[in-house]
Amino acid sequence: MSTAKDRAPGPAGSGLNDDIGEEKRLALYRSQVRLRDAEQRAFDLFLQNLVKGTSHLSLGQEAIAAGFAEAMVKGDLSFCTYRGHAHTLARGVPVEKVLGELMQKDNGLMRGKGGSMHLTSEEHGVMGSYAIIGAHLPIACGAAWRAQYRGDKDVSVCFFGDGTTNIGAFHEALNFAAVWKLPVVFVCENNLYMEYTPIKDVIPIPQPAADRASAYGLERILIDGNDADIVYRTAQKAFARARAGEGPSLIECLTYRHSGHSRADPAKYRPEGELEEWKKHDPVKLYRERLKQFGVTDEVIAEIDASVRKEVDDATEACKAAPSPPLDIITTDVYADGGWAWRN
């Protein structure tokens, strides 16, 4: 786990002039609130039958998406899973684009062709969300290989869950990245569960990712994934290492999802009290307290909360009003010529 030093770099109330600084702290807070509100809205819209297909929320896991995204710079690349709304939003993709895709509207990121599990916004560095467990770890290696080959300074960041550490592609990617010393950062969001089965039931070691780092010659990194400051600092360190040509990192972030695995899941399998215990360590709440400790006023916080709320409300309205996608896009973009012709 993180050390006390990581957790609280300056004494509470000492002002914002620590290593993170005011601007970044406010950005980290805004981002987390934005993810929280947008995902909560997605859930509400689902209850209203306006979100179709499946959807996998990151409620409770916001500090990871926010912390990494705030440590990234333009050009850095994110590779996400089906649980990728938060990571997509955290890179600056408009809420409307994400909700639009969930609502299968024409204003969605991929105009409804991809769906909630495949959010992609290359202009924001979101290089796709992948719904086959583990598939994107090797793909992130490839993007990092390109950076290494060309001397580009960007980092590829690949997010995945605890359960993903047991699939073959995880192993192949970690070894490959380590041997080739690729500028890729693997982020395991350990939320204690796969779909409905606890991760501890299916691994012979306590930590699914951290306890395997040594198999790839990597440092063991296990952090509190609900503390955005810790996440941010850990990300910075890993990115610096990657950009310096020192190779990949594997970071395990402890966290918890507040909702079920997907929209279909009421999460009945969790032991009583577990959710409540974790809610005490809610990343958004924690960070609001943190800001206050650093002297940020209630007014500033309220202003952020309100402006995010408005963004999400506006996005919701825009999505409700948006048309469905036209059917003629069904056969576009199968091939690079824009079409789908497999014959002459």
Ligand X SMILES: Cc1ncc(C[n+]2csc(CCOP(=O)(O)OP(=O)(O)O)c2C)c(N)n1
> 225 to 254, contacts with other proteins by CB under 8 A?
none
Per-residue binding string, ligand X, 195-214, x by CB under 6 A, is: x-------------------
Q: Which of 94, 125, 163, 283 binds ligand X (CB under 6 A)?
A: 163
Residue 315, SS3?
Answer: helix
Q: Is 178 in the site for a copy of itself (CB under 8 A)?
A: yes
Distance CA 308, CA 110 (A): 23
- Cα-based distances in Å from 257 to 112, 156, 213, 282, 314: 26, 24, 24, 10, 26
Q: Segment 21-80, which members bind ligand X (CB under 6 A)? A: none
CA distances from 61 to 34, 54, 315, 319 (A): 12, 19, 22, 25
Distance CA 263, CA 105 (A): 19
Question: Min. distance of Cβ 323 from other proteins in angstroms?
Answer: 11
Q: Is 164 in the site for ligand X (CB under 6 A)?
A: yes
Q: How many residues bind ligand X (CB under 6 A)?
A: 15
Candidates 39-47, 193-201, 210-218, 281-289 — which segment interacts with ligand X by CB under 6 A?
193-201
Q: Which of 7, 171, 241, 281 binds a copy of itself (CB under 8 A)?
A: 171
In this structure, what token pair is assigned to residue 82? 């089906």
DSSP-based three-state secondary structure for 223: strand
**133 binding ligand X? (CB under 6 A):** yes
Which strand (E) or helix (H) includes residue 185? strand 184-190
Residue in the shown chain whose Cβ atom is closest to ligand X: 161
Select 203 or 318, whichever has its Cβ closest to other proteins: 203
- Mapped onto helix, strand or coil, the DSSP state of residue 294 is coil
- Contact between 137 and a copy of itself (CB under 8 A)? no
Task: Pick one of 13, 151, 168, 323: the residue that binds a copy of itself (CB under 8 A).
Answer: 168
